[in-house]
Amino acid sequence: MAQLDIRKFESKRLRLYTDIDPAIAERLPPIVDQAYEAWEAYFGPLPPNREGSEYQITGYLMKDESLFERAKLVPKDLPKIEHGRHRGARFWMNDQKYDYYRRHLMLHEATHCFMTTLPEMRGPVWYFEGMAELFATHRVDASGRVTFRVMPHEKSRFAGWGRISLVQKDVAKHGPRSADQVTRAPRIGSGQAVDYAWWWALCKFLDSHPRYRDRFRQIGRHLGEEPFEVLFRRYFDDVLSELWTEWPLFATGIEYGYDFQRAAVAFRTGTPLVGP
Ligand SMILES: [Zn+2]
């Protein structure tokens, strides 16, 4: 493999094969190790696998895809890789122009790998893709410590991502997507960039809003125990009308550094005035 200039970079949770600049590549696997801790903290630990070995993802990050094809590292039946693809504990992705978005896409695909390993993971596409986007949206500090599920605060630090702009433009053209529109599966294929932007926005809203975040988290904890719709109803039935009232406020007000705490609406049940 070495003669084809594909090199291997490995950490506990990721074995990465790539032909990109080694100085960039070597920093990637440790990020997936940190993500693994974040996934376990959020979804709960994975059951031990049959071999009793540690969970490790294999990733292929490709600048020149033909090198990987010649080395037979891309299955022939894999659908065309536009940005990234995953299958079981493996993913394939094309190299990206921006450092931020390269890491983002890697984390998106790696989150899919983890989530599909959860027992009987079944869920709607908005949740599966939205959660991959949620965990992929990250910040790295100077020491290399990664924070996941962040609200992007500044456009330049999230180069190549663009989800907020996509939602803003779509709202300007068509208005905010309704509950039904945003949770509906795409009619054809796996969805457009704008669909991913909306799925991220919905998961980010549910994950951050003070009234919904604990409920939303419970769904992540109990995935696979019951059909997703049953879980969702269990944790959201009594707040559905507030939820879908507040959602369009978020969707129309979305911006870098959006403050969920400050934007939360205080709903009060009407108390009849007691006269003297
Ligand atoms: Zn995806």
What pLDDT, on the 0 to 100 scale, is given for residue 271? Answer: 64
Q: Are 144 and 217 in contact (CB under 8 A)?
A: no
Compute, in angstroms, the gap from residue 261 CA to the centroid of ligand 1: 29
Compute, in angstroms, the gap from residue 51 CA to the centroid of ligand 1: 27
pLDDT over threshold 60, residue 241:
yes
pLDDT over threshold 80, residue 50:
no
Compute, in angstroms, the gap from residue 108 CA to the centroid of ligand 1: 6
Cα torsion 199, 201, 206, 208 to 10°: value is 150
CA dist list (Å): 3 to 7, 69, 108: 9, 14, 30
**Hunting for tokens 């039935």 — which residue is that?**
237
What pLDDT, on the 0 to 100 scale, is given for residue 200? Answer: 97
Counted residue by residue, the chain has a size of 276
Single-letter residue type at 52: G
pLDDT over threshold 70, residue 8:
yes
* pLDDT average, residue stretch 20-42: 97
What pLDDT, on the 0 to 100 scale, is given for residue 77? Answer: 86
Per-residue pLDDT band for 115 (boundaries 50, 70, 90) equals very high
Compute, in angstroms, the gap from residue 271 CA to the centroid of ligand 1: 46
Compute, in angstroms, the gap from residue 248 CA to the centroid of ligand 1: 24
Distance between CA 136 and CA 158 in Å, rounded?
A: 11
Q: Among candidates 117, 15, 86, which has minimal Cα distance to 56?
A: 15
Token reading at 267: 């709903």
Per-residue pLDDT band for 266 (boundaries 50, 70, 90) equals confident
Distance between CA 163 and CA 251 in Å, rounded?
A: 12
Q: Among candidates 139, 126, 56, which has minimal Cα distance to 100?
A: 139
Higher pLDDT pick, 134 / 185: 134
* pLDDT average, residue stretch 200-225: 94
Q: Among candidates 200, 197, 205, 189, which has minimal Cα distance to 249?
A: 205
Token reading at 216: 């939303």
Compute, in angstroms, the gap from residue 196 CA to the centroid of ligand 1: 8
pLDDT over threshold 70, residue 226:
yes
Backbone angles phi, psi at 62, to 5 degrees: -115, 125
pLDDT over threshold 90, residue 233:
yes
Q: Three-state SS for 17?
A: strand
- Of 87-96, 104-113, 121-130, 131-140, which gets the smallest average pLDDT? 121-130
Compute, in angstroms, the gap from residue 276 CA to the centroid of ligand 1: 61
Mean pLDDT for all residues in the chain: 91
Compute, in angstroms, the gap from residue 34 CA to the centroid of ligand 1: 19
Compute, in angstroms, the gap from residue 192 CA to the centroid of ligand 1: 11
Compute, in angstroms, the gap from residue 269 CA to the centroid of ligand 1: 40
Q: Three-state SS for 143?
A: coil
pLDDT over threshold 50, residue 276:
yes
Per-residue pLDDT band for 126 (boundaries 50, 70, 90) equals very high
Q: Among candidates 93, 127, 95, which has minimal Cα distance to 110?
A: 93
Compute, in angstroms, the gap from residue 198 CA to the centroid of ligand 1: 13
Strands (E), the chain: 7-10, 14-18, 57-62, 84-87, 90-94, 138-140, 146-148
pLDDT over threshold 70, residue 254:
yes
- Of 18-22, 25-29, 43-47, 180-184, which gets the smallest average pLDDT? 43-47
* pLDDT average, residue stretch 184-193: 83
Q: Three-state SS for 170?
A: helix
Compute, in angstroms, the gap from residue 69 CA to the centroid of ligand 1: 22
Per-residue pLDDT band for 81 (boundaries 50, 70, 90) equals confident
Could you tell me the sign of the dihedral formed by the alpha carbons of 114, 119, 125, 128, in that order?
A: negative
Compute, in angstroms, the gap from residue 234 CA to the centroid of ligand 1: 26
Q: How many CB atoms lie within 10 A of CB 181?
A: 12
Compute, in angstroms, the gap from residue 115 CA to the centroid of ligand 1: 11
Single-letter residue type at 184: R
What pLDDT, on the 0 to 100 scale, is given for residue 178? Answer: 93
Distance between CA 111 and CA 136 in Å, rounded?
A: 8
What pLDDT, on the 0 to 100 scale, is given for residue 2? Answer: 47
Distance between CA 195 and CA 14 in Å, rounded?
A: 28
Compute, in angstroms, the gap from residue 275 CA to the centroid of ligand 1: 58
